[in-house]
Structure 1
Amino acid sequence: MVEKNRKFFFYVLYCADGTLYGGFTVDLAQRVATHNAGKGAKYTRVKSRRPVRLIYSETYETKHDALSAEYHFKHQTRKAKLQFLDLHNVKLPKV
């Protein structure tokens, strides 16, 4: 079922400590701001992980599909996550 006029996003953040975080949202700008304010996911509340930068996002028509993409990303090794990003032409920020 396509949810009317609603977009669902899977996104990847590059954290200040060099780690990657995958998430789901319906409002990318607001969600990144929430992470950077230290009020997002428990993972990004850790001060050494902030600020975070949005490096990848993908739009889905259903919440299920976006959550599925998030789940699959989060359950990969770092090497597999980097391969995913490389496949999508994402260059990691220079530290």
Structure 2
Amino acid sequence: MPCYTYILKCSDNTLYTGWTNDLVKRIKTHNAGKGARYTRGRLPVKLLYYEIFSTKQEAQRREVQIKKLSRQEKLSLIKNS
């Protein structure tokens, strides 16, 4: 089963990065207010970017890498995808 690392744009224009093994379901969960605490007060969220991995560990590693990027670096990653 594939895993995904993703970047969301929140309603307050901030970016949120996470990982999941079911991208469609996870976005719905976020928008239902049942996702991460960070996104609950910043609804709705919109998927801007994602990468696909074959293992959970790879997706989690990539999430950590992306979270260390600056906002500008994240926007550049999104733009160049």
Tell me the TM-score normalized by structure 2: 0.93
2:24 to 3, 26, 29: 29
**CA offset at residue 62 of structure 1?**
1.1
Letter in 1 for 2:19: F
Q: Name structure 1 gaps, 5 residues minimum.
A: 1-5, 89-95
Tell me the SS of whatever aligns to 1:65.
Answer: helix
Segments of 4+ in structure 1 off by > 2 A?
A: none
2:67 to 74, 77, 86: 74
Distance (whole Å) between structure 1 residues aligned to residue 48 and residue 78 of structure 2: 9
Distance (whole Å) between structure 2 residues aligned to residue 78 and residue 56 of structure 1: 14
Say yes or no: does 1:11 pair with 2:6.
yes
Partner of 1:50: 43
Letter in 1 for 2:4: F
Q: Name structure 2 gaps, 5 residues minimum.
A: none
Tell me the TM-score normalized by structure 1: 0.80
Distance (whole Å) between structure 1 residues aligned to residue 46 and residue 76 of structure 2: 19
Letter in 2 for 1:73: I
**CA offset at residue 74 of structure 1?**
1.0
Q: Which structure would you say has the larger Rg? A: 1
Aligned-pair identity in percent equals 46
- RMSD of the alignment, in Å? 0.9
Distance (whole Å) between structure 2 residues aligned to residue 57 and residue 33 of structure 1: 15
